Amino acid sequence: MHWIDPESLPEVRGTVRNFLLNPEGDVDGFVLGGRTLRQVHVPPHLSRHLARYVALGDKIRIRGVKPRGADMIAAISLTTESGKVILDEGPPAKGDQPPKRAGARRPMEAAGEVKLSLFGPKGELRGALLDDGTSLRMPPHAATELASYLTPGAHVHAWGHGLKNKFGKTLEVDKIAELVD
């Protein structure tokens, strides 16, 4: 059981615009759409529940915490349109964890305009969402050094290893540059 009572947290509502994938291809969050975009981080152990009960275009209610300095929400509780509640009860016990999948990552590249900076659950800069829905991911120390490339409005070209599945496309960045026509 999570130590935070989700009912004590403010509720945010929105429509799911994009799913976000971690480098292993698990859904670890989504972007709420509308006039402004907002990232919602979901712990990886809830990936299967999120993938099963939430679809693009769904209206969803979120209770979570907002880290300082990052316009995102680390979700504790999600409620779907149908009333299904997905609650973060913490990661499963060691013996109950599904086996790690071998990553199907391959060399990839992506280019486009940054629409949203992406953050880790504690508000640390971790990457960016491009206009085509690709998630660029990198470790926090690299993201801090390369923050100007991860700011909304920046046009970038990135290379690395990634994967694409029915939920989206993610690229673990090895190199990034300003996109030049």
Compute the distance between CA of residue 7 and CA of residue 77 in angstroms, rounded to an integer: 9
Per-residue confidence (pLDDT) for residue 105, from 0 to 100:
84
The domain in which residue 20 lies consists of 9-96
Residues 155, 173 within the same domain = yes
Helical H segments across the chain, by residue range = 47-53, 140-145
Residues 90, 113 within the same domain = no
> How many domains does the structure of the chain reveal?
2
Residue 22 in domain: yes
Residues 127, 89 within the same domain = no
Compute the distance between CA of residue 173 and CA of residue 81 in angstroms, rounded to an integer: 35
Per-residue confidence (pLDDT) for residue 98, from 0 to 100:
54
Residue 172 in domain: yes
Residue 4 in domain: no
CATH of the domain at 23: 2.40.50.140
Burial 114-145 (b: 16+ CB within 10 A, else e): bbbbbbbbebebbbbbbeebbbbbbeeebbee
Per-residue confidence (pLDDT) for residue 90, from 0 to 100:
80
Q: Out of 26-40, 52-66, 126-140, 145-159, which region has the weakest mean confidence (pLDDT)?
A: 26-40
Residues 128, 151 within the same domain = yes
Residues 51, 127 within the same domain = no
Residue 3 in domain: no
Convert the pLDDT of each residue in 54-104 to its tens digit: 999 999 999 999 999 898 999 999 999 999 999 988 887 765 555 555 557
